[in-house]
Amino acid sequence: MSDETSRERMPTSYRAGGPATDVASADAVPGLEPVVVGGGPLVIEDVVRVARDGAPVVVAPAALEEVRRTREVVRGLASDTQPHYGVSTGFGALATRHIPVDLRHRLQRSLIRSHAAGSGPEVEREVVRALMLLRVATLATGRTGIREETLTTYVGLLNAGITPVVHEYGSLGCSGDLAPLSHCALALMGEGPVRDSKGEVVEAGAALAAAGLAPVELEEKEGLALVNGTDGMLGMLCLALHDLRELLVVADVAAAMSVEGLLGTDDVFAADLHALRPQPGQAVSAANIRKVMAHSQIRESHRTEACTRVQDAYSLRCAPQVAGGVRDTVDHAARVAAFELASAVDNPVVTPDGRVESNGNFHGAPVAYVLDFLAIVAADLASMSERRTDRFLDVARNHGLPPFLADDAGVDSGHMIAQYTQAAIVSEMKRLAVPASVDSIPSSAMQEDHVSMGWSGARKLRRSVDGLARVLAVEVLTAARGLQLRAPLAPAPATGAVVEALVAAGASAPGPDRFLAPEVEVARRLVTDGTVRRVAEAHTGPLA
């Protein structure tokens, strides 16, 4: 991804506000409800609102009190001659080096500067904001021993719209997302490049000054506390879960449009049939498809003895089983994310009873596994969508529609190459489904001899989610053309509304070939901005 692409992907709804350190400053961004950290676990929608919408972040007063209390525990170790990891020792394989008192502040600065070693394309703004929020949430638990002023300045960065430049490569998903978090901590120190609230690249020191923030002079343990978490991979997991839940509804709408347009039956989606196999997601998907296909003249037209088809192909008949399995996988991943959102990930940690203990909670394995799992099911859902599209284009299987849905087949090619685009994306998604978490390259002179590769799993999942949206868009566009070609028979009110929305947005009615890429993009936009779901739900009621 190029630097220019990164800028294009920035959410246009972002609004910047001033620093906020307690609930009393909740009106930092008028019209947006604040996200409160330190008052209980965050939820996925909190992450989305801060990352994409620019919701202000505030710290609960009780959390600040706990931060102050546990900081005193770390201060008590600051001049201790006994070694304490992160306070008076080196890091990783260098943990055996005892650091004199007069070098301990330099130790923290050096940690951040050396670990801010990322490379490659710039990571999307929403990802950086998500990981910053999640690090703030851990800091606000009081388990890290960080100072209050360090925490509140970090919150100030978020609320001022200052986004550190973070790079694609640098995290192994163990000992935290070290390089990405270090680039953020570097900005907190007033060093390195950032993007300001307008998206322009400036030096961190200048951005802090413009926001009325002072650079942080890191003290004992603070550098380590700023980088030792799974925040990057967790932030991307939360964003992906939000998007997949929306795309799953679109997948059911698309499947219903295809079943209807291909003269398939909705009898197989009956509730009592799905109750025989009580997989929860399957029942939800079948119910959605039933609602979307309701009152279709096209469906009723072949509910006669003249129709000799006994059953439909798997890509039509088994749509709820596949989409339902994806739903259940998303629910499992959301449970893992919820546990992680309730966690305080750092090493060492200050326990509630005042002990400072080393641990391995920074290992990203639980998050990495579900990131990989989601890439697998996203690829399979896209694969089934592509198969339904292909059936529309094959005159031997589309039950009376013209070849490739073309106006004058041979002169016109219709949607032939739109399916090629789908197939290319599905092929890439299958490659992206190869798990990252099964790989481990030891680092830090074999001290960190098993790593999760969760960051890599998260990065490829983002590409996969984007691919799924594009594949579903082609199916929706193609199924709409198929439904139009069934005239004068009318489609179901819900599917007809999707067709009308496409036409209103610039997708043409059937006719001679035209420049198709803009219409594919129209369909993608209506899929991702919620229009497809919204216009269908206007006739079906809420779809789950």
Residues serving a catalytic function are 85
Which DSSP state fits 508? P
Instruction: Give 411: exposed, middle or buried? Use CB within 10 Å, 0-12, 13-18, 19+.
Output: exposed
Residue for token pair 């896209």: 382
Considering Cα of 206, then 211, then 212, then 214, what sign does the dihedral take? negative
* CA-closest candidate to residue 472, choices 207, 280, 187, 246: 246
State the helix-helix crossing angle for 493-505 and 517-528, rounded to 10 degrees. 120
Retrieve residue 431's tokens. Answer: 């490659």
Q: What is the rounded CA–CA span in Å between residue 396 and residue 186? A: 61
CA dist 139 and 135 (Å) reads 6
- Angle, helices 280-293 vs 319-341, to 10°: value is 130
Contact of 479 with 258, CB cutoff 8 Å: yes
Is residue 443 a contact partner of residue 172, using CB atoms and an 8 Å limit? yes
The three-state secondary structure class of 453 is: coil
d(CA 485, CA 506): 18
